[in-house]
Structure 1
């Protein structure tokens, strides 16, 4: 049996490459890709894409189904809001809930909630109350709401998060079902290097997962729309352009002459002409990019990075907690990071050492590793960053 062709860009961990190869060969994939922001993940590496002819992988899509980014350009000029940034950021964190739970009573409604309540897959219908409660909340980890100064002089809004508890419980349920358990049972505790969980797409369980995944993706899109609209309301602005994309999802596509399910975990689709918003760190420019028709794009399954990519674990960056509060052993001096960001004119709300710039690669370097398969359309410099506060451990982040 021929070995699955694997394409790797950039300087990535060999363990992540081994994870990708294990996933690709387990399902007879036609190709596998590891983008330059790649690093070790649960079973399938972050930054990895695998093209399966006959299977779909709940472990590959991951727990945060439909995690992705949205960016919008406003008609406001940066110099019109600069003096008001502290007030604006304070208002954003009052009106948008970060971390665990909802911290405001502003009503949220969306047609996707009716779809969840009426979906054919009965276990997801039971999650309708959770979905309603969490719609438009952001979560923790590397999830954020940012304001940017665009290279066009205009204010941009960018967000990053996924399907919250609705998607997490959907993923957990299918991992449990794949192990012969009930949807509501605890999913097996898999090791980081566990083989992928694969479902044949023609099986009853595989078809159920496809529908449930797509509904969780629609919920993630709706949540990002709700949050962006709320931030626009805070700004008193309107969107004049937007780009919106998942990076934890599976798509039916055609590659290498074969119809396949491309399972992308932490990587952005980048077909010729397709635009994507890719975040950097709280202190460096993010980008809006576009896939090109360069032939090398096909080798990458028309995929690109979803961020800068971690260079250290969260514990390495922030240290470990000790009894009585506090931490020891962290490599990042977060008070110093805060001072640096303030000196750059960034209004930071929340965040912690595990999300500091030095915990990540440089975005320009990972973009360069993808060469002419992508082109940068806009550079967006952060001026306001809102995240969950220190020590928030949200079970529904990616």
Structure 2
């Protein structure tokens, strides 16, 4: 008995075509007339419906630069995921940072350059997730003697937890930005954004008081004492665009999926994009920038509230985004999802974990890395596995040994849940960045359950 031909498999080049059900029905009807001759069936389908000339998912990925050994520091599934990203038609080149691990769409620690296209999924569900550091003109011993008081001031400066809002919304000029009127979906979320202004969320978002020691002298920032023996206290925060950013990312990621499915063949789910010569692409670009300003406003409110309540004088503040896209000098779009911009002499912040140091860095402008560096320690395995292998006794002992005061650190957010930050930094030293200062956690405040979208 002759096996009936699988017309769905035969028509894979037509799967993304509008009206595919009609094409499939027609092809199935031909099996009785033409038998099981695939070439004759395809010829008849092409004659009736025309040849599909839309761009297709690449057979071979564009070049991927890796900074760390795949299968060791970089999990194999993160590299495999990057290969999928590197096969979309707009892709030009890609890179994986040493903190890379699997995420949704683009891996965390992934960087990809695209032509005339932006992918909301490659930027991530927490649009403009970022870090900010404020340095205070206070000697460490003055802080240590009043650590609990400063910790209480910090707790009162923001709110941690999924979906939390302020009963009396905080004020910031970002809420008057005209870009809230760019689309009905954006306008509808302005109220939520206002209620969550100055909150921090959950998961890996944090507010840490850190002890800062300079490593490299005679480089920016100038407001940090050049003498490595002169230490300072700082506030390091990590959060993004909150529930508003997540809802908008979900909306535009779905839009990109639909647009891509209608124009390009065989692209896997989660890898859609918007062309930048379309209204949809231009709209998302504006929305991304609005969420960038909104995320920055959240940090500014937290930092200004803490400084005001504590009475500390701010010597200087720096920040960088690590879930964002930038237009480069070639007119292409560089997506960084969990990666820090590291152009020549560009100051960056690479957080460690709740129980390990973070670093202030100076970029070396490595073009192979798409002028990027890591954004943190990165995960060696999933949140689920981190919870499974967590040892509360080991965690508590580590924090006590390091004399770190902590609150709200979930079992999938301890030092055990991450790669060793020193291994991640060692890969980058002299290649992607130089270390400028070491930031040792003294007070760590987090929000428990994850809400970072990846």
TM-score computed with the length of structure 2 as normaliser? 0.77
Q: CA deviation at 1:116?
A: 5.9
Paired residue secondary structure (1:379): strand
1:65 aligned onto 2:127? yes
Partner of 2:313: 238
Q: Distance in 2 between matches of 1:341 and 1:116?
A: 46
CA shift in 2, pair 1:388/1:397, >3 Å: farther
Whether the aligned pair in 1 keeps the contact of 2:343 and 2:371 (CA below 8 Å) is yes
After superposition, the C-alpha distances for 1:327-359 in whole angstroms (9 at most, x for unaligned) are xxx211124312321232111011111111111
1:363 corresponds to 2:441? no
Q: Is 1:337 matched up with 2:399?
A: no
SS at 1:173's partner residue? helix
Unaligned segments of structure 1, at least 5 residues: 182-192, 319-329
Within the candidate set 280, 293, 302, 2:352 is matched to 280
- Of residues 40, 47, 51, the one that matches 2:113 is 51
Query: Between Structure 1 and Structure 2, whose CA radius of gyration is higher?
Result: 2
**Residues 252-286 of structure 1: CA deviation (Å, up to 9, x unaligned):** 003xxx32100110000000011111100111110
Aligned to 1:99: 161
Contact between 2:61 and 2:87, CA under 8 Å: does it hold in 1?
yes
CA distance in 1, matches of 2:377, 2:178: 33
**1:375 correspondence with 2:444:** no
Structure 1 pair 102/43, CA: closer, same or farther in 2 (3 Å)? closer
Unaligned runs of 5+ in 2: 1-57, 214-229, 260-267
Q: 2:326 aligns with which of 223, 243, 251?
A: 251
Write the distance in 1 (CA, Å) between the matches of 2:65 and 2:137: 41
Q: Residue 170 of structure 1 aligns with which residue?
A: 248
Aligned to 1:327: none
Q: Is the Cα–Cα contact under 8 Å of residues 116 and 215 in structure 1 kept in the other structure? A: no
The separation in 2 between residues aligned to 1:221 and 1:74, in whole angstroms, is: 19
Q: Which residue of 2 aligns with 1:153?
A: 231
Task: Give how far 1:109 is off.
Answer: 0.8
Which structure's residues are more often strand, by fraction? Answer: 1
- RMSD between superposed Cα atoms in Å: 1.9
Deviations 1:48-88 (A, max 9, x none): 00000121001100100000101111101111011211232
Q: Report how many residues are paired.
A: 367
Give yes or no for contact 1:350–1:388 (8 Å, CA) kept in 2: yes
Instruction: Please state whether the residue corresponding to 1:354 is helix, strand or coil.
Output: coil
Q: 1:222 to 1:66 in 2, by over 3 A?
A: same
**1:97, 1:19 → 2: CA distance?**
34
**Secondary structure of the structure 2 residue equivalent to 1:25:** coil
Contact 2:179 2:286 in 1 (8 A): no
Provide the residue aligned with 2:103 in structure 1.
41
